[in-house]
A and B are shown apart, each in its own frame.
Chain A
Amino acid sequence: MAAVTFVSHDGEKCEAPLDEGCSLMQVATNNAIAGIDGDCGGEAACGTCHVIVDPTWADKVGPSGPEEEEMLSMNPERQATSRLSCQIKVSESWDGLTVQLPEFQM
């Protein structure tokens, strides 16, 4: 089954199955991945589902949208491939996707 790997700030790896149609935030919270809060429930309005997409996957996953960008731009840990995971609809064809978690969620 296709899986995504979340890499914590300390380098610890956690895998979760990529369920087609779910957001990456849902994948994380459904699998109790520590470090993704998702306080607003997926509205791009809290910024607590921040992930940094592995640069080799950035093209496939795509860039952030304008709404998302407003929340990200306030975040001191923001990086070039930062995304709000609630705004990423996952695909089963993304087996091996790797995302880094920030040290803190805002």
Chain B
Amino acid sequence: MKIPEAVKTKVEAAIPLDRQVQAAHLYDKGRRWLTGTNGQKMFVEGPIPPVEEVALEDIDLSNPFLYRQGRWASYFKRLRDEAPVHYQAHSPFGPFWSVTRHADIIAVDKNHEVFSAEPLIVIGAPPRFMDIAMFIAMDPPKHDVQRRAVQGVVAPKNLREMESLIRERVRDVLDNLPVNEPFDWVSTVSIELTARMLATLLDFPFEQRHKLVVWSDLATSMEQANGGPSDNDELFRGMVGMARGLGALWHDKAARLAAGEEPGFDLITMLQSDENTKDLIKRPMEFAGNLILLIVGGNDTTRNSMSGGVLALNRFPDQFEKLKANPDLIPNMVSEIIRWQTPLGYMRRIAKADTVLNGQFIRKGDKVVMWYASGNRDETVFERPDELIIDRRNARNHIAFGFGVHRCMGNRLAELQLRILWEELLPRFERIDVVGEPEYVQSNFVRGISQLMVELTPKGAR
């Protein structure tokens, strides 16, 4: 049965968000009990064979361990060379097409008339009711209305207001780092700085900033969505916490504004001072969708670019020397790091009509996955694509922010945050050495580094 949209909206509006999530949790428990899948993991890690040993039609890029095991680059290369628009008929997430060349990806990404972002942008599907509507997974015109309501917060004009605060917070973290002894860069720097940035963006209570990270990590690690390692009970409990926390933030901000506090440059203030969104809290699903999208969109991505940059400069030490000799390269290096890391592996679309893409016939209803991680290593666009080259002439042509109407809304914020990080790192440290092998995230979507042990040598200490 299909519930009419208007009725659904009314019902959703009448029931507080945390209650809705709790109901969804009960539903999911019932589903797992009925289907006998409770406690069973969808994915168990096994060694992935070299790509030469796999038949073309068996290549399955949805395997959530490809990135962790370092096989992804060779798998992508084989598809780019032999089947740039490739069909996988039997993945655990069902059949899907993989688009791996730079030009083909742009063609799909900019054509929302044929390739719809609805209803989801990951290969799989999150548990029922966890698929909260976000504009990243809406087509125009619905998408445009929602995006317009929030994009001001990360627009360059607003960022100018936030830059000094971001820089101050970066300095504070860097000044307190341990030197000459190993520590984990991911938790100490990447996660910490990202949490501070997100707290600034939302004016979320600073001392509770780690909650933002926990919620976001839960939301992006669902196994049914992208092969992540999450536990559904933990997930739903976390989401109830998030619903309450964000609701409380809204009401607290409204009260402070009413009491005459100076309005800030944050998202909540912005929504509350706009006629169209000042009552957004009364549309809880839309409220949650917009806030979660910003938190999730800004979290893993920025974090993994901060970690990926350190890793890449260690893999290509001559580039670190080049950087120290010429710090003016930082802005271009930031683009190059984002290309090299490509924090989000792909976005997914559904064909709305029969169509032909690079010679392959794609049917209406087929799932199409645009592999940004592959497009960014396309040798027809980037020379020596696997190398980090900080003065690469066309680094900005990377595809990691996507293209078309969904092009990353936070791109300038991400670049700003990374630029400030490197501007503040260079005068402080002579060396940033990775010690030991990094650990990687389980996912087919997030290309994440979960641990990166480093040792810093301060400037002037030899």
**A: which residues have CB within 8 A of B?**
37-41, 43-47, 67, 70-71, 73-74, 76, 103-104, 106
Residues of A within 8 A of B403 (CB): 40, 43, 45-46
> Looking at the complex, which one of B110, B151, B152, B401 makes contact with A43 (CB distance below 8 Å)?
B110
Residues of A within 8 A of B386 (CB): none
Residues of B within 8 A of A71 (CB): 404-405
Q: Contacts A37-B396, A45-B403, A76-B157; is A106 near B412 (CB within 8 Å)? A: yes
B106 touches A43 (CB 8 A): yes
List 22 contacting pairs A-B, 8 Å CB cutoff, sorted by A.
A37-B396, A38-B396, A39-B396, A40-B397, A45-B106, A45-B109, A46-B407, A47-B407, A67-B110, A70-B140, A70-B405, A74-B147, A74-B148, A76-B152, A76-B155, A76-B157, A104-B155, A104-B156, A106-B155, A106-B156, A106-B411, A106-B412
Between A38, A41, A46, A70, the greatest number of chain B beta carbons within 10 A of the residue's beta carbon is seen for A46
**B: which residues have CB within 8 A of A?**
106, 109-110, 140, 144, 147-148, 151-152, 155-157, 396-397, 401, 403-405, 407, 411-412
Q: In the complex, what's the smallest C-beta–C-beta distance from B5 to chain A, in angstroms?
A: 24
B110 touches A73 (CB 8 A): no
Given contacts A39-B397, A70-B405, A104-B155, 6 further A-B contacts (CB under 8 A): A43-B403, A45-B404, A104-B156, A104-B157, A106-B155, A106-B412
Closest to B405 in A: A70
Q: A70–B156 Cα gap in the complex (Å)?
A: 19
Q: Provide the main secondary structure of the chain B interface.
A: helix
Q: A41–B148 Cα gap in the complex (Å)?
A: 25
Residues of B within 8 A of A46 (CB): 403, 407
Q: In the complex, what's the smallest C-beta–C-beta distance from B399 to chain A, in angstroms?
A: 9
Residues of A within 8 A of B405 (CB): 70-71, 74
Q: In the complex, what's the smallest C-beta–C-beta distance from B398 to chain A, in angstroms?
A: 8
A103 touches B157 (CB 8 A): yes
Q: A21–B383 Cα gap in the complex (Å)?
A: 27
Residues of A within 8 A of B140 (CB): 70
Q: In the complex, what's the smallest C-beta–C-beta distance from A57 to chain B, in angstroms?
A: 26
Q: In the complex, what's the smallest C-beta–C-beta distance from A34 to chain B, in angstroms?
A: 12
Closest to B403 in A: A45
